[in-house]
Amino acid sequence: MNATNKNTDIKKIKSEISTLKKSLLNFKFQKASGQLEKTSEIRKAKKKLARLKTEINKSIGESNA
């Protein structure tokens, strides 16, 4: 994989991370106000966020090696 392809992948992942952070914040507000039906969505969003962050760190580590 070349450098430009990695950069575009990282940009896509970062945009997805920001989207997940916004939805996680919305989930927290919904839970606090009692509107959130599926509280498991919070845990799923957190796990996906962690996976994406790990993917970024992994690709950065490979480029530094």
pLDDT digits (tens, 9 = 90+) for 18-56: 999 999 999 999 999 999 999 999 999 999 999 999 999
Amino acid sitting at position 36: L
Output the pTM of the full model. Answer: 0.82
Amino acid sitting at position 47: K
pLDDT of residue 25: 97
Q: How far apart are CA 14 and CA 5, in angstroms?
A: 14
> Token pair for residue 3?
């450098």
